């Protein structure tokens, strides 16, 4: 089988595998793009026959992907999640090559083929004042500004992932109930509410949108001039440009910070972790609990204000104990 035929065969097999396992269309499209990028990289470096690529070349590709973090057009860094998806695509390729006996051993199998998540762990949510300033500073007098405001209002309103916003279809939205179906990770769909503000901007944007036919809500213009659904990397780039413009740029703020902010602000206002888990679409509550670490100061204030032992303690101890306590503190 010729190299080009092998590449197409593997791409078809990966698509069939992911479809049978009910991966979302958005995720399958992303893996397809990443596989093609890997093929393009291999061809440019004269590694046209992917069956002959070994561990050394695969580690070289991993470094190439890591390098994209600082070379990304527009200055916005690729997230660790995006880079790992690119590497996952390569894993799928070599799993299929091995499964169909096109290679004797899987070169990825014994490699540490994942980029560690140290940078993303430092992301923080925006405060209520910061998110208000950010959203209200976007100029909505142009169709592009209106689209951007609508995207970020919707992310903040419904705690959506950027990929979920990009895959949102007009038919998913129920304006009467102010809710939408969200096509989540691994085909885990959920229904989430939409705020009054986000719903109003959605109506304005859809009414003002040039293309009235396409089923996807948010469209971008490709280099060839025609419209297509926006990609996550484009939304991230727009977000980073606004951060610079509004003098808010910081390595610990990303598009995910907006979603993180929704969870944090809901928890701060008394929402239960279980309800926030449902909104975020987390499979495990442990993932949601990670968002609660930012509330420690608030927890201490509530504890000190409301816990009965905080108020009764010194009423129950005698004066001699207090004198001894003062003595040790002074020492």
Nearest to 267 by CA among 298, 301, 305, 306: 298
Distance CA 51, CA 94 (A): 8
**Catalytic residue IDs:** 161, 185, 256, 259, 282, 291
Distance CA 90, CA 93 (A): 5
Count how many residues are written for the chain: 331
CB atoms closer than 10 angstroms to residue 257: 21
Task: Check if the beta carbon of residue 128 is closer than 8 Å to that of residue 262.
Answer: no
DSSP state of 216: B
CA 32 to chain CA mean position, Å: 19
Task: Check if the beta carbon of residue 91 is closer than 8 Å to that of residue 62.
Answer: no
Pairing of strands 219-221, 227-229: antiparallel
Residue with tokens 């949108």: 209
Nearest to 57 by CA among 30, 32, 94: 94
């Amino acid at each position: 089988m010729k190299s080009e035929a092998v590449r197409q065969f593997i791409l078809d097999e990966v698509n069939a595998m992911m479809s049978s396992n009910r991966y979302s269309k958005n995720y399958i499209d992303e893996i397809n793009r990443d596989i093609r990028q890997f093929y393009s990289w291999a061809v440019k470096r004269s590694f046209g026959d992917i069956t002959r690529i070994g561990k050394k070349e695969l580690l070289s590709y991993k470094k190439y992907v890591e390098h994209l973090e600082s070379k990304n057009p527009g200055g916005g860094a690729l997230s660790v999640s995006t880079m790992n998806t690119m590497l996952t695509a390569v894993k799928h390729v070599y799993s299929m090559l091995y499964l169909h006996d096109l290679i004797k051993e899987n070169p990825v199998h014994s490699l540490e083929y994942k980029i560690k998540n140290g940078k993303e762990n430092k992301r923080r949510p925006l405060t209520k004042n910061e998110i208000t300033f950010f959203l209200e500073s976007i100029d909505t007098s142009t169709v592009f500004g209106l689209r951007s405001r609508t995207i970020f209002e919707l992310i903040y309103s419904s705690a959506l992932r950027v990929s979920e916003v990009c895959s949102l279809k007009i038919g998913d939205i129920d304006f009467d109930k102010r809710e939408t179906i969200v096509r989540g990770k691994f085909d885990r769909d959920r229904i989430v509410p939409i705020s009054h503000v986000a719903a109003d901007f959605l109506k304005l944007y859809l009414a003002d949108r040039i293309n009235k036919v396409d089923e996807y809500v948010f469209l971008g213009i490709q280099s060839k001039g025609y419209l297509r659904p926006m990609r996550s990397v484009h939304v991230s780039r727009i977000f980073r440009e606004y951060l610079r413009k509004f003098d808010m740029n910081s390595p610990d703020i990303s598009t995910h910070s907006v979603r993180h902010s929704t969870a944090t602000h809901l928890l701060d206002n008394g929402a239960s972790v279980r309800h926030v888990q449902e909104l975020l679409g987390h499979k495990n509550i442990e993932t949601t609990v990670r968002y609660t670490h930012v509330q420690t100061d608030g927890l201490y204030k509530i504890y000190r204000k409301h816990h009965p032992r905080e108020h009764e303690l010194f009423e129950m101890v005698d004066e001699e104990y207090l004198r001894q306590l003062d003595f040790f503190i002074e020492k």
